[in-house]
């Protein structure tokens, strides 16, 4: 069987199981993303090996990985598209406080735990940093499904994630500059800050002044799916630029691209096209792939106590830290708890930190495994926690007729915002 046929078969399998598991998950009152994550773990690399493909398993899983990475960009792009910049400005204070406190608390906790378990000073700081980085894609998807992304909590959460990303990357860079022992530490950090500022400033300027004009021109031309292709290119270029020039995560770039295009008159058509690409193919692959990359057999049974403490610190540190920040920023108690919960899930930045630690001999195999388990568990617990905390709002939404029930015959057209939210969940 050729490589392509193997990929085609694997994609069919991933899409089928993802959508089936997502559907079952929804039937049990959970967000579909939980089912898709779990099915990935069940399929696992073990299953792929059983299938006995001649395609080197590594190559096949790399291709699936690339599909998944496109998926997370599309997901964050759509989250950005939900935003209005003025809404973002309104929630800036909450976002900054929640983002900062949500980094500080778990970093300090991790540092303390490291010292408590007899790790060296640098290793302990590093452990703290590995616990710090939120990955907001799972929460964004969950809030979209619960139709509460465009509430004050949802908007502040996405903003906080941007601050979180900037802060943790700054801290990691500072740390590595110091441990590498270069005297140029201060200069390097200044350089990073300048890079980030320049990137964000230039992206906003370009996105406000030039991009809408380009989109309008392309839309006028008779190019097959021209608007969608222009959007896709914008998203990809922003993502690459965020990582390459800005030193930020690629998903932050994709989020910014969405933010910029949210203001264009073509927004609704952009959204429906990107939604097809996202939920028809790439996003399910992303969620399943998170699970696929986890081999449960490799997990250590020793160091269970250490792992448990790390996981607990990661969850509580983020939840309480970000929640406290949100409260200071002016959210209600209930909203702060919701926002903090949305920050719990970790992702690729935590894993990247862990591997940096391994290659620099800062952490050993046990600590590495503990971080991986932490990323996994925080990812899995976030959707059900959010579902429980948003229960009231989400159930109220459920009483509204859904798009499918309404059909085309309905005369009571939903309002603009509701229509967009309905589409996102359909």
Q: Which is nearer to a copy of itself, 343 or 386 (CB)?
A: 386
Least distance in Å: CB of 219 to a copy of itself?
A: 9
Q: State the DSSP H helix or E strand holding residue 1, giving kind and residue range, or none if neither.
A: none
CB 338 within 8 A of CB 319: no
DSSP secondary structure of 65-93: HHHHHHHHHHHHHHHHHH--HHHHHHTHH
- The sign one gets for the Cα dihedral 73, 201, 243, 87 is negative
Q: Which is nearer to a copy of itself, 19 or 263 (CB)?
A: 19
Q: Which is nearer to a copy of itself, 404 or 409 (CB)?
A: 404
Q: Which is nearer to a copy of itself, 305 or 404 (CB)?
A: 404
Least distance in Å: CB of 196 to a copy of itself?
A: 17
Least distance in Å: CB of 102 to a copy of itself?
A: 26
Least distance in Å: CB of 125 to a copy of itself?
A: 26
Binding footprint of a copy of itself on the chain (CB under 8 A): 1-5, 7-9, 11-12, 15-16, 19, 22-23, 26, 32, 59, 62-63, 65-66, 69-70, 73, 220-226, 228-229, 232-233, 236-237, 239-240, 243-244, 250, 273, 275-277, 279-281, 284, 402, 404, 425-426
How big is the CA angle at 66 (ends 62 and 68), to the nearest 5 degrees?
115
Least distance in Å: CB of 40 to a copy of itself?
A: 16
Least distance in Å: CB of 282 to a copy of itself?
A: 10
76 CB-near residues (< 8 Å, 6+ apart) = 136, 137, 140, 251, 252, 254, 255, 258
123 CB-near residues (< 8 Å, 6+ apart) = 114, 357, 362, 363, 367
Going by C-alpha positions, the residue among 350, 343, 384 that lies closest to residue 370 is 350
Q: Which is nearer to a copy of itself, 38 or 95 (CB)?
A: 38
Q: Which is nearer to a copy of itself, 154 or 284 (CB)?
A: 284
Least distance in Å: CB of 235 to a copy of itself?
A: 9
Least distance in Å: CB of 149 to a copy of itself?
A: 14
Going by C-alpha positions, the residue among 66, 25, 24, 60 that lies closest to residue 45 is 60
Q: Which is nearer to a copy of itself, 3 or 263 (CB)?
A: 3
235 CB-near residues (< 8 Å, 6+ apart) = 73, 74, 77, 254, 257, 258
- The sign one gets for the Cα dihedral 38, 159, 153, 78 is negative
Structure tokens given for 6 = 């193997």
Q: Which residue has the tokens 């996981």?
A: 311
Q: Which is nearer to a copy of itself, 205 or 223 (CB)?
A: 223
Cα dist. 307→110, 335, 347, 349, 404 in Å? 11, 30, 17, 19, 45
305 CB-near residues (< 8 Å, 6+ apart) = none
Q: Which is nearer to a copy of itself, 236 or 358 (CB)?
A: 236
Q: Which is nearer to a copy of itself, 41 or 63 (CB)?
A: 63
DSSP-derived 3-state class of residue 321: helix
Least distance in Å: CB of 204 to a copy of itself?
A: 20
Least distance in Å: CB of 19 to a copy of itself?
A: 5
Structure tokens given for 238 = 């922003």
Least distance in Å: CB of 211 to a copy of itself?
A: 14
CB-count burial class (<10 Å; 0-12, 13-18, 19+) for 394? buried
How big is the CA angle at 17 (ends 13 and 18), to the nearest 5 degrees?
110
CB 322 within 8 A of CB 346: no
Q: Which is nearer to a copy of itself, 240 or 312 (CB)?
A: 240
């Amino acid at each position: 069987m050729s490589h392509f046929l193997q990929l085609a078969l694997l994609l069919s399998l991933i899409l089928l199981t993802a959508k089936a598991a997502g559907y079952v998950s929804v039937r049990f009152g959970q967000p579909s993303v939980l089912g898709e994550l779990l099915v990935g773990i069940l399929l696992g690399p073990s299953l792929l090996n059983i299938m006995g493909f001649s395609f080197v398993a590594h190559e096949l899983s790399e291709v699936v990985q690339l599909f998944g990475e496109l998926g997370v960009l599309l997901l964050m792009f759509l989250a950005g598209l939900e935003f209005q910049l003025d809404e973002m400005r309104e929630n800036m204070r909450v976002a900054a406080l929640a983002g900062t406190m949500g980094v500080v608390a778990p970093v300090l906790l991790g540092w303390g735990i490291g010292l408590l378990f007899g790790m060296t000073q640098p290793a302990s700081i590093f452990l703290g940093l590995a616990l710090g980085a939120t990955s907001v894609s799972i929460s964004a998807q969950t809030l979209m499904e619960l139709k509460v992304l465009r509430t004050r909590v949802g908007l502040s959460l996405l903003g906080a994630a941007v601050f979180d990303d900037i802060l943790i990357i700054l801290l990691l860079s500072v740390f590595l500059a110091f441990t590498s022992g270069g005297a140029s530490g201060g200069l390097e950090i200044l350089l990073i800050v300048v890079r980030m500022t320049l990137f964000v400033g230039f992206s906003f300027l370009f996105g406000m002044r030039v991009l809408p004009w380009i989109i309008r021109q392309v839309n006028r031309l008779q190019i097959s799916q021209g608007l969608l292709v222009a959007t896709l290119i914008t998203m990809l270029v922003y993502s690459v630029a965020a990582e390459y020039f800005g030193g930020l995560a690629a998903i932050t770039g994709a989020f910014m691209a969405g933010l910029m295009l949210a203001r264009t008159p073509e927004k609704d058509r952009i959204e429906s096209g990107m939604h097809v690409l996202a939920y028809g193919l790439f996003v399910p692959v992303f969620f399943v792939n998170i699970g696929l990359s986890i081999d449960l057999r490799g997990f250590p049974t020793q160091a269970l106590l250490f792992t448990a403490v790390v996981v607990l610190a990661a969850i509580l540190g983020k939840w309480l830290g970000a929640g406290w920040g949100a409260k200071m920023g002016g959210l209600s108690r209930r909203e702060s708890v919701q926002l903090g919960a949305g920050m719990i899930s970790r992702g690729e930045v935590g894993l990247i930190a862990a591997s940096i630690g391994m290659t620099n001999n800062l952490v050993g195999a046990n600590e590495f495994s503990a971080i991986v388990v932490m990323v996994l568990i925080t990812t899995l617990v976030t959707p059900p926690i959010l579902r429980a905390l948003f229960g009231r709002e989400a159930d109220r939404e459920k009483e509204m007729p859904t798009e499918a029930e309404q059909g085309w015959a309905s005369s009571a057209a939903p309002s603009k915002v509701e229509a967009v939210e309905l589409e996102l969940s359909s």
